[in-house]
Amino acid sequence: MYWYPERGLGDCNMYVVEGDPTILVDPGSPRYLEGRLREMKKDGLEPEGIEIIVNTHSHPDHCGANRPLQELSGAKIMIHRGEGDHLRFSLEFGRYFGMEVPRFEVDAYLGEKVGGGETELLVLHTPGHSPGSVSLYHAGLRLLLCGDLVFEGGVGRTDFPGGSSEELLASLERISDLHLQYLLPGHGNVLRGEERIRRNFEFVKGHFF
């Protein structure tokens, strides 16, 4: 599992789960793709080795680099079905804020799982920040890639169209029961350790709801 921290405004944390198949989660902004590919190369990862690109949701800071990365890798782009109608809105919204989003097609909607063997991730539908937001759970590592559901000391915005703070709270309750060792959010720091992650859940529930 590799973490490539967000590089600036309009970007997000990118993660790569290496194995068979190799999955890349949220490629971020196209502006930073070249630099990211250089970082990946240092880790021994080539774009051609990426088979699946998963977006935790359709906001432009997460899927901006989908198309250029797909052109390099030939990977399939996957997203939750609940994001289907929201996708177009989300990309237009991005343009409104001056974020580049080269047009891309979703190749398949996410099912209950993605990947296989060591890279198997359970897909948990965790709406609230957007209608089709997902979190991806690796059972062996007790690790969750949670997109913009929750961060260190914060939660995802719910004031964009399709957002809901009740749904976000329900999604938080759902993932609080997982006894995670690693929480890997779409922005900011990665959290390690069950106790630290539990305290972060308590903090955000107390402050934002």
Side-chain-side CA neighbours of 5 within 13 Å: the count stands at 5
Complex with Zn ion: residue 18 or 149, whichever CB lies closer: 149
Min dist CB 123 to Zn ion, Å, is 17
Residue tagged 């680099």 (tokens): 65
Q: Distance from CA of residue 105 to its chain's centroid?
A: 17
Using the minimum distance from each CB to Zn ion, give the nearer residue, 18 or 29: 29
Task: Enumerate binding residues for Zn ion (CB under 5 A).
Answer: 12, 59, 61, 148, 186
Q: How far is the CB of 129 from Zn ion (least distance, A)?
A: 6
Give the side-chain half-sphere CA count within 13 A for 60: 21
Asked if 133 contacts 126 with a C-beta cutoff of 8 angstroms, the reply is yes
Smaller CB separation from Zn ion, 148 or 167: 148
Query: Which CB, 6 or 18, lies closer to Zn ion?
Result: 6
Answer yes or no: are the C-beta atoms of 164 and 152 closer than 8 Å.
no
User: CB of 17: closest distance to Zn ion in angstroms?
Assistant: 19
Q: How far is the CB of 187 from Zn ion (least distance, A)?
A: 6
